[in-house]
Amino acid sequence: MNKVIFITGSNKGIGYEIARQCGKRGFHVIISGRDEKRLKKALENLHTEKINADSLLMDVSSLESIETAASQFNSKRLKIDVLVNNAGIIIKGDYKLLQNDRNILQQTINTNSYGPLFVTKVFLPFITSPGRIVMISSGGGVLNGEVAGWSPAYCVSKTLLNAITKQLSYELKDKNISVNAVCPGWVRTDLGGSGATRSLEKGIETPVWLSLEASQELTGLFFRDKKVIPW
């Protein structure tokens, strides 16, 4: 049976491209997102490329939605070899923590930080041992250096995601499930914008490597360009 990779937020952008590349390498891919129409179209496109793919409608900022998706997944009688927590947002108007509407911080953290935590928790019974969890983080969350100065709620949410990654790597060590974070670089997507310096193909290189090829021993680490970087 083909190995299964489940990628959140994969009806477009980095998540979709990870799904496509892993699908081409023989994985059964499960794509996901909130926008049902876009999800359907993405699934059709993968099928056109003869990729073995299914979809799950899921909003990672809602525990109820995650639980509903998990019970639908359960009926497929599949296991998950690789979980990629990729879904993420930057909310318009995320300029200053002291000036932002409170909802901006809450919604950003619910999606970018608690989302990956609760998806991991709810889908954990399906994850194989050995297994892999990849968190799509960002250089914006790094604390080792100057503050980037852009989208502060987003950056805080990725710092929290990094901390969650580290804790989960410890908690899942005895199950032989690796948990790592990755910065894809600045990638041309709807979120990254057209002025970003990296193509999608370049941006997904390290996430795909971590999902498929990196040593199972590597866990609790933060990567960029297949190299460990400081948190």
Ligand X SMILES: NC(=O)c1ccc[n+]([C@@H]2O[C@H](COP(=O)([O-])OP(=O)(O)OC[C@H]3O[C@@H](n4cnc5c(N)ncnc54)[C@H](OP(=O)(O)O)[C@@H]3O)[C@@H](O)[C@H]2O)c1
Active site residue 154: yes
Nearest partner of 28 among 45, 55, 57, 52, judged by Cα: 52
Pick the closer one to ligand X by CB: 12 or 28: 12
- Smallest distance from the beta carbon of 197 to ligand X, in angstroms? 9
Name the residues that contact ligand X, by CB under 6 A: 8-15, 33-35, 38, 58-61, 86-89, 111, 136, 138, 183-184, 186-187, 189-192, 196
- Smallest distance from the beta carbon of 160 to ligand X, in angstroms? 13
Which residues are registered as beta bridge partners of 136? Answer: 182
According to DSSP, residue 76 is labeled: T
- Smallest distance from the beta carbon of 154 to ligand X, in angstroms? 7
Q: How far is CA 11 from CA 41, 43, 49, 56, 66, in A?
A: 8, 8, 15, 10, 16
Q: Tabulate helix, strand, coil % of the chain (nearest 5).
A: 45, 20, 35
Pick the closer one to ligand X by CB: 1 or 184: 184
- Smallest distance from the beta carbon of 217 to ligand X, in angstroms? 25
Pick the closer one to ligand X by CB: 190 or 217: 190
> What angle separates helix 102-109 from helix 152-171, to the nearest 10 degrees?
30
How wide is the angle at C-alpha 137 spanned by C-alphas 6 and 125, nearest 5°?
35
The stretches of the chain forming alpha helices (DSSP H) are 13-24, 36-48, 63-74, 102-109, 115-123, 152-171, 200-212
Q: Which of 16, 95, 114, 154 is an active site residue?
A: 154
Pick the closer one to ligand X by CB: 139 or 220: 139
Say whether 73 sits in a helix, a strand or coil.
helix
- Smallest distance from the beta carbon of 96 to ligand X, in angstroms? 19
Pick the closer one to ligand X by CB: 16 or 126: 16
**What residues act catalytically?**
154
